[in-house]
Amino acid sequence: MGSCIICGASADGHICTTHEEDVVFEFRGTTPGQLTSGRYYEGHVDGFAEFGVFVDLGDNVTGLLHKSEIPKRLDALDWDPGDVVYVQVDDVHGNGNVDLSWSIRQSERDFRGKLIDDPDAPSNAELPDDEAEAPPAATEADEQADDATDTGTTAEDRASTEADGGAAAAAADADTTVDEQADADADESAGADADEQADFASLERAPIGDLESRAGDLVAVEAEVTGARQTSGPTVFELTDETGVVDAAAFVEAGVRAYPEVEAGTVVRLVGEVERHHGDLQIETEDLTVLTGDDADDVRDRLAAEVTERATPEDETLLVQDAAVDVVHDDLVDAATEIRRAVVQSRPVIVRHTADVEGYVGAAAIERAVLPLVRDEHTASDAEYHYVDRRPLDDDFYTLDDATKDVTSMLEAADRHDEKHPLFVLVGTGSTRESVDGLGLLGLYDAPTVALDGGYADGDAADAADVLVSPTQHDESPVSTGVLATHLAGMVNADVRDALAHLPAVPYWEDTPDVYAELAADAGYDADTVANVRDALALEAFYQAYEDKREIVIDLLWDEAHTGLVGHVGDQFREKLGTEFETAEPHLDARGDGDVTVEVLDVEGYTHRYDFPPTSLLLDALYRERRDGDYVLLGADSDELRVRATGDVDVRALGETLRDDLPEAGVVPRGAQDGRVEFLSGERDAIVDAAVDAVADQF
């Protein structure tokens, strides 16, 4: 039995089951069957094929990384034959074929340790040879004290031993007793330690931003620990001061946690030599002191002042002047400041968004702005995967179920990687009372929130979110959420403004404002190209709605060469939407009388509910085609009602009216003025009849 190099738990070898995926293995076997599925391995690129990459894992053992496992196009993969790469073993087949999957960690330092998978070793999780043989770190004082207290060791013996080693004076008094010699050695060692500590204390604080020119120097830094990871060798602390970030390695014993009392958020004074490790600066720790009181406050004050300065947007102007957006200008600045502050404070940014065109455009724009800031802020090559995450939602609301998943993930990340609790940015959601419970759960764990919604918001959510951006909270009309988020992204990172220029035109299905159409045209996106991008994104947003689809969304939104991708996917969108439109339109049921035209679509009976397009998108298309004068379209599913109307129909008010009129129908208004109405499926006919009368009354 051994102990886990990360948590110290008993293990068969040097890694426990919980942390097996946190380390990388060097494989020393000779047959595929000796591999361990689920582990990450170091390999070498053997060659490329149309369907993927072959990776050598060991002698006569090669696996296939299929192109479907690679989150980018195969021809965009920056690998050459012979390159060291890191992959996960998915499965080993009986015929010897090895299926590999992608690893976002593509350097050894991105893992928390390295172990050996050797079938001939005592276990298949052994320490590397150099670390297994490394003696425990010991100070000179410890060695001298141990020598001096060995039973039967005389002063003459010690003097002779030290003479042989060239480390002691030959003039030791032969009559000196063992105890006297030990005391003398201890006093000498204590004096040396005191001198060394005095030397450490005399070192002036070195700003981390100045260490680039200090390689080889002994320096002292005063900083906040923003991360700690245990490797199979040293413990590596990420240190942050007001000028930058650097890693510091502290070694006690192979795989043993150094300074276990030091966690993320601790303020320290660390002394060590500046070196280069895998091309990056790193401090080799010689002394570490936890700072408290005024000393810690001074460090935090310097950090806070720098964070405030760096968090302030460099350019607070809108991408282009738009009076409808200008009403929330100050709110956008507040939101941009919170996002930039999270990056500077090493706090992950989690973007939660609706799985539609508005949500994807807005969230992708924010992601585009944040990623370069994270890359600049952190040393690890996989930092963008730890510190930026975009997660689509199953519904239009940020529910308690969503928040529970996020909190669970957040707590696991804090436990395994010492990550701070994230900032959650909610795009197209989080602005109504349905999201209050979810926002409240995040608040209990001190996870800050920014909610951005161009649609209708309500006061309950305004109190629940730390920052809410919505024109309706200023008594103004709704705007496009994608447009709002794109302006926000431009404030977050001024360097990406040019790359965002065409995005505000994408969410519009018709009547694109001239200011955004011209902005897109200047960026090289004419009206047809913008329409193709919108249609293609709408189709891809539907499939695997719970996945971020980072690479394909990037290709759709930023394919500046305008290759056939958006046209190909856009054609599929139009074909599928047209087919469903033709299926549903003959079944529209004209209802009501008077000056208001009301049509009802039985969604359950006359649409392919689980195929593309989703109900909301189909209703939008039908409404755009058939609206004329005072027109209302009701989409009635088995247990919910959606409304599209030319007049100012308040769907929430409609739901409250239906609830009063049909108290046994289980009516629940969902969302704000532009929401939907849920009800018991057995009361569907009564709900539709009552809704037809009620919506006509609202005109």
Which two three-digit tokens encode residue 382? Answer: 């996989």
Q: At residue 112, what is the residue type? A: R
Q: How far apart are CA 433 and CA 462, in angstroms?
A: 9
pLDDT class for 653, splitting at 50, 70, 90?
Answer: very high
The single residue listed with the structure tokens 């009372």 is 433
Instruction: Using a pLDDT cut of 90, give the percent of the chain over it.
Output: 62
pLDDT digits (tens, 9 = 90+) for 128-139: 875 544 434 333
Q: What is the mean pLDDT of residues 219-226?
A: 94
Q: What is the pLDDT of residue 382?
A: 62
pLDDT digits (tens, 9 = 90+) for 392-406: 998 999 999 999 999
Q: How far apart are CA 21 and CA 435, in angstroms?
A: 34
Q: Where exactly are the structural domains of the chain?
A: 2-132, 208-309, 323-498, 588-697
Q: What is the mean pLDDT of residues 335-359?
A: 94
pLDDT class for 562, splitting at 50, 70, 90?
Answer: low
Q: What is the pLDDT of residue 135?
A: 39
Residue 167 in this model has a pLDDT that exceeds 50: no
pLDDT class for 386, splitting at 50, 70, 90?
Answer: confident
Q: Which residue stretches of 493-614 are H helix?
A: 497-500, 514-522, 527-542, 550-557, 564-584, 603-606
- How many residues are present in the chain? 699
Q: How far apart are CA 502 and CA 534, in angstroms?
A: 11
Q: What is the pLDDT of residue 690?
A: 95
Residue 171 in this model has a pLDDT that exceeds 50: no
Q: What is the pLDDT of residue 631?
A: 93
Q: What is the mean pLDDT of residues 84-88?
A: 95
Residue 157 in this model has a pLDDT that exceeds 60: no
pLDDT class for 160, splitting at 50, 70, 90?
Answer: very low
More confidently predicted of 75 and 176: 75
Residue 351 in this model has a pLDDT that exceeds 60: yes
Residue 278 in this model has a pLDDT that exceeds 80: no
Of 10-24, 58-72, 140-154, 285-299, the poorest mean pLDDT is in 140-154
Residue 536 in this model has a pLDDT that exceeds 70: yes
Q: How far apart are CA 356 and CA 542, in angstroms?
A: 7
pLDDT class for 172, splitting at 50, 70, 90?
Answer: very low
Q: What is the mean pLDDT of residues 434-461?
A: 92
Q: What is the mean pLDDT of residues 493-521?
A: 96
pLDDT digits (tens, 9 = 90+) for 51-62: 889 999 998 899
Residue 511 in this model has a pLDDT that exceeds 80: yes
Q: Which residue stretches of 135-205 are H helix?
A: 140-148, 155-165, 178-202
Between the alpha carbon of residue 5 and those of residues 119, 127, 230, 249, 414, the distances in Å are: 20, 9, 7, 15, 18
Q: What is the mean pLDDT of residues 71-75?
A: 74
The backbone region for 60, taken as left when phi is positive above 0, alpha when psi lies in -120 to 50, beta otherwise, is left
Q: What is the mean pLDDT of residues 435-446?
A: 94
208-309: CATH superfamily: Nucleic acid-binding proteins (2.40.50.140)
Residue 624 in this model has a pLDDT that exceeds 50: yes
What phi and psi, each to the nearest 5 degrees, are found at residue 187? -65, -40
pLDDT class for 94, splitting at 50, 70, 90?
Answer: confident
pLDDT digits (tens, 9 = 90+) for 567-599: 889 999 999 999 999 999 999 999 877 788 999
Query: With contact defined as beta carbons under 8 Å apart, do 340 and 387 qualify?
Result: no
Q: What is the pLDDT of residue 237?
A: 93
Q: What is the pLDDT of residue 648?
A: 83
pLDDT digits (tens, 9 = 90+) for 627-652: 988 999 999 999 999 999 998 899 99
Q: What is the pLDDT of residue 137?
A: 39
Q: In this structure, which topology does domain 2-132 adopt according to CATH?
A: OB fold (Dihydrolipoamide Acetyltransferase, E2P) (2.40.50)
More confidently predicted of 229 and 181: 229
CATH code of 588-697, in short, is: 3.10.310
Q: What is the mean pLDDT of residues 185-203?
A: 64
Q: What is the pLDDT of residue 413?
A: 83
Residue 179 in this model has a pLDDT that exceeds 80: no
Residue 180 in this model has a pLDDT that exceeds 90: no
Of 105-114, 355-364, 450-459, the poorest mean pLDDT is in 105-114
pLDDT digits (tens, 9 = 90+) for 522-534: 999 999 999 999 9
Chain mean pLDDT for the chain: 87
CATH code of 323-498, in short, is: 3.90.1640.30
Q: What is the pLDDT of residue 138?
A: 39
Q: What is the mean pLDDT of residues 361-381?
A: 88
Asked if domains 2-132 and 208-309 share a fold, the reply is: yes
pLDDT digits (tens, 9 = 90+) for 462-486: 788 999 999 999 999 999 999 999 9
Q: State how beta strands 597-602 and 349-353 pair.
A: unpaired
